[in-house]
Amino acid sequence: MKTYLMAGLLMLAVFMVPAESKTPIDSESGLNSMLSQQNADRLLLVAFSDNTINSIKNTASPTSYRQRGGYQSSTWSERITNQIADDYDLEKLAEWPMTEVGEHCVVYRVADKASVATTIERLSKDDRVEVVQGMNVFKTKTQSSSSNDPYFRLQANLQQMQISLAHGKATGRDIVIGMIDTGVDLNHPDLAGQVSNNQNFAEDISASFATDKHGTAVAGVMVARRDNSTGIMGVAPDAKLLALKACWPDKVDAMEAVCNSYTLALAVNTAIKAGVDVLNMSLTGPQDPLLTLLLKKALEKGIIVVAADTGSGNTSENFPASLKDVISVQSIKQPASTPGSLAESISAPGEKVLTTLPYGTYDFISGSSIAAAEVSGVVALLLELKPDLTVAEAHTILQKSKITSKEGLISGVNANVAVNSLCESAHCGHQFLSFAQFNPL
């Protein structure tokens, strides 16, 4: 079924080694034009089925497949791409095969004299086209604060989720978390060796990676090293991270960042191809047809997808958390929150959480992006104990791990209780508290 969507604004929900292969782009000027926020409202992302994707052996002649960086495009797709450009007076900026869903994707710019809305409407009726949408732009919002007593705050946060007790049974060993975000400080004392691989899908406009703040903060929450006599400890310290940069700082040294449908689609496709166990997407915004197609494929392959939930209740502006089977996570602003929307959602601490920042530093960060990262870490713990864990099972375990006090306050996901629910059948051999026995501090 064809799908189309006008360009909209998406936001990351945080108060938020260069790439091995080049981005599949026709020219540097085309890339900069495509990634520029000023040009986003005139860009279209078009996808059509290509049955030759994934059917050509690596030994195929280069005349039948044309290389674009680390990607390949069939001559048939090239022909359709050019025909569409000619038929609708479009300028082709980039094209690449979305290997995991068998679609060939193209970014076009609509001529200044043409109406974007009319062009989308016309393309949506073209039998060659599966998906046509505007180029959605993502932005980050961040909120940080300093403190003279960081470790006390940190210990309170860990105690709330009972991370230390959970680590007596699981630490995320042999689990790979895919993180789609900005770059990460790979040499941070608490992150050194934690990132197994990384790729930058916006390197021509943002070559930075290690100095990016938002991704470094989210990474620290999930996989910061433990027992290294330095800084903090992540929720899943023995898990490894696949860091995929699809967003770039809005300004030099800014926490705020931008990304779009194009870079995010490349990152999701790469995560699926890499076979990550968990996919963390600390972002939210309007529905995106191409990303929906890719995320459904990820879920179909057993990847557990975790996304930030703003808690606004507006499903049209809460993507990808609103997508069926994606684990959506809201932030608890206080140690315990009153029942309401949080009672039905997955929730985790998201207020002033101490985490990693570039140059070996730390700060307190708030937002549902942080809460989503915490839950991704807990899912990694569960997957260590049960590698074939389904998203439905994970969701049930996370829901049941939430603790409600005698006063009726909800304290959010408890990692220890969640892990213990699997230990009961796995015979972990550790003393643990049942759901009924545990009372929040």
User: pLDDT per residue over 38-94, tens digit each?
Assistant: 668 899 999 999 887 765 443 333 223 333 334 455 788 899 999 999 999 999 998
- The per-residue pLDDT for 324 is 94
Other Cβ atoms closer than 10 A to 425: 9
- The per-residue pLDDT for 249 is 86
- The per-residue pLDDT for 68 is 37
Q: Quick one: how many helices (H) and strands (E) in the chain?
A: 12, 21
- The per-residue pLDDT for 37 is 60
**Residue 99 predicted with pLDDT over 80:** yes
- The per-residue pLDDT for 16 is 39
Token pair 């770039």: residue: 248
Q: Which residues contact residue 57 at a Cβ distance below 8 angstroms, ignoring those fewer than 6 apart?
A: none
Which of 47 and 255 is assigned the larger pLDDT?
Answer: 47
Looking at residue 214, its amino acid is H
- 111-127 pLDDT, tens digit each: 999 999 999 999 999 99
- The per-residue pLDDT for 56 is 47
For residues 177-184, average pLDDT: 97
Other Cβ atoms closer than 10 A to 68: 18
For residues 227-237, average pLDDT: 89
Looking at residue 301, the DSSP 8-state letter turns out to be T
Structure tokens, 312? 């606004």
248-262, 347-361, 423-437: range with highest mean pLDDT: 347-361
- 121-179 pLDDT, tens digit each: 999 999 999 999 998 877 654 555 443 334 434 546 677 899 989 999 999 999 999 99
Q: Which of 74, 185, 214, 363 is catalytic?
A: 214
Q: Which of 366, 369, 411, 421 is catalytic?
A: 369
Q: If you compute the radius of gyration of the chain from its CA atoms, what whole number of angstroms results?
A: 22
- The per-residue pLDDT for 412 is 87
- The per-residue pLDDT for 38 is 61
| Range with the poorest average pLDDT among 7-21, 94-108, 216-230 | 7-21
Q: How far apart are CA 228 and CA 215, in angstroms?
A: 21
Which of 418 and 344 is assigned the larger pLDDT?
Answer: 418
Find, among 122, 126, 120, 119, the residue nearest to 49 by Cα: 126
For residues 191-214, average pLDDT: 93
b/e sequence 274-288, b meaning 16+ C-beta within 10 Å = eebbbbbbbbbbbbb
- The per-residue pLDDT for 65 is 32
- The per-residue pLDDT for 255 is 80
Q: Which residues contact residue 253 at a Cβ distance below 8 angstroms, ignoring those fewer than 6 apart?
A: 211, 213
**Residue 192 predicted with pLDDT over 90:** yes
For residues 280-290, average pLDDT: 90
Q: How far apart are CA 277 and CA 303, in angstroms?
A: 5
CATH number of 142-426: 3.40.50.200
Q: Confidence band (pLDDT; 50, 70, 90) for 274? A: very high
Q: How far apart are CA 195 and CA 198, in angstroms?
A: 7
181 is catalytic: yes
For the beta sheet containing 144-145, the strands, ordered from the edge strand earlier in sequence to the opposite edge, are 144-145, 361-365, 353-357
Other Cβ atoms closer than 10 A to 67: 10
Domain residue extents for the chain: 3-138, 142-426
- The per-residue pLDDT for 72 is 54
**Residue 394 predicted with pLDDT over 90:** yes
- Give the chain's mean pLDDT: 80
Find, among 2, 8, 3, 12, the residue nearest to 250 by Cα: 12
- The per-residue pLDDT for 431 is 41
- The per-residue pLDDT for 267 is 97
| Range with the poorest average pLDDT among 3-7, 295-299, 395-399 | 3-7
Reported pTM: 0.84
**Residue 415 predicted with pLDDT over 60:** yes
Q: Which of 50, 77, 104, 181 is catalytic?
A: 181
For residues 319-338, average pLDDT: 81
- The per-residue pLDDT for 202 is 86
Q: How far apart are CA 410 and CA 408, in angstroms?
A: 7
